[in-house]
Amino acid sequence: MKLVTYESAKQSRLGVVQGDAVVDVAAAYGLIAKGRIADAKVGAAANVLRKLGRPPEDMIELLGLGERYRKALGVVVASAGGMGKKGPKGLLVPLRTAKLRAPIAHPQKITCVGLNYADHAREGGVEPPAAPIFFLKSHNTICGPGDPIKLPPNSQKVDYEAEFAVVIGKRGRGIAEGEAHKYIAGYTILHDVSARDMQFADQQWYRGKSCDTFAPTGPWIVTPDEIADPHNLRISLTLNGETLQDSSTSNLIFKVPFLISYLSQSITWEVGDLISTGTPPGVGFARKPPVWMKAGDTVSITVEGIGTLTNPVVGP
């Protein structure tokens, strides 16, 4: 499933992408309440949803309801989406006109992994790390598909970084590597925008990575059943149509289960936490001459099996 947060009448709503449309979760609940979903298979799934008694309020609540709930939701929305124009008003929203937002508006933690592609580490003049290097981005960085990346007035060297991100779906600490898959709700794209002049001047990463709008995410969360191997996905980035990054998650030094387990020995993962797994080579600061994002640019990141996240760049 592709789980989305989208905007309608200035309100955030939950949806599931089906073909070229978004099926509204609250509207699907309305069909259950009216008894319009009747056959045995769908009815059993509807009973799972009825236990909540109402639609989930946001993506974190939806994810926290667990895998059984998500599977039941998938069955119900597939049936609801099949109604087409016979369904109630607001059930289906054309994907091309839907205003998609960041799937998770306020994650408790945005945990990023630095230098997790060996060739990216070397292009920056350092050897690949022996253990994962983590840093945090603050919540004000989150924005969604199509939202502008706003260049800060105190930076002249804003760089792009395409990243494959993991969404935590279950609270946990002290997680064994072999059990890590049970804590994954899905995958998405995160653009780890970086003000390099701040980053290099500070000699640490927080300020340069945490400017407003510096973490576009989306366009949706893809559930694990749709991703056969998260460590074999092509990842690429284009700036104004020119490909500047092109690699594969097979080149990650530290794989997803290890990252989840490693950090869980000292911190607790919460539902909706994001883990951004690092960027491949081709970033702007390492190019000769360097390439910095500027007002008027358009940047797109594509991850195989997930989709494409596109954002314009605007001035201060």
pLDDT digits (tens, 9 = 90+) for 28-41: 988 887 776 655 56
Express each pLDDT in 44-102 by its tens digit. Answer: 888 899 888 899 999 999 999 999 999 999 999 888 877 766 667 889 999 999 999 99
Q: Which has more confidence, 154 or 53?
A: 154
As a whole number, mean pLDDT of residues 152-158 equals 97
Task: Specify whether the CB–CB gap between 167 and 272 falls below 8 A.
Answer: yes
How much is the pLDDT for 122?
A: 81
Contact 142, 130 (CB under 8 A): no
- Cβ neighbour number for residue 287 with a 10 Å cutoff: 13
Which token pair is 294? 């500027």
**Confidence tier at 15 by pLDDT (50, 70, 90):** very high
In this predicted structure, what is the pLDDT of residue 35? 72
* 166: Cα within 13 Å, side-chain hemisphere: 27
Q: Identify the helix (H) or strand (E) that includes residue 196.
A: helix 196-202
The tens digit of pLDDT for each residue in 117-126 reads: 988 888 878 8
pLDDT in tens, 243-286: 999 999 999 999 999 999 999 999 999 999 999 999 999 999 99
- Tell me the pLDDT band of 293, cut-offs 50, 70 and 90: very high
CA distance linking residue 112 with residue 129, whole number of Å: 14
Q: What is the pLDDT of residues 161-193, one digit of tens each?
A: 999 999 999 999 999 999 999 999 999 999 999
Residue 179 neighbours by CB distance under 10 Å? 14
pLDDT at 41: 62
Q: What is the pLDDT of residues 302-311, one digit of tens each?
A: 999 999 999 9
User: Tokens for 155?
Assistant: 């930076």
On the CB side of 187, CA atoms within 13 Å amount to 22
- So what's the pLDDT on residue 37? 66
DSSP annotation of 140 reads G
CA distance 42 to 218: 29
What pLDDT does residue 40 have? 53
* Separation CA 280–CA 146 (nearest Å): 23
Cβ-based neighbour number of residue 74 at 10 Å: 17
Residues 43 and 118: their CA atoms lie apart, in Å, by 50
What does the pLDDT read at residue 86? 66
Rounded Cα distance between 59 and 268, Å, is 19
Q: Which residue type, as a one-letter code, is found at position 34?
A: K
Q: Which domains does the chain have, with CATH numbers?
A: 2-99 (2.30.30.230), 102-314 (3.90.850.10)
Short-list 11, 108, 93, 107, CA closest to 57: 11
Inter-residue contact 122 to 192 (CB < 8 Å): no
Comparison of pLDDT for 158 and 49, the residue scoring more: 158
Query: For 105-146, how does the pLDDT look when each residue is reduced to its tens digit (9 = 90+)?
Result: 999 999 999 999 988 888 878 888 899 999 999 999 999 999
Rounded to an integer, what distance in angstroms lies between the CA atom of residue 169 and that of residue 154? 37
Write down the pTM of the prediction: 0.95
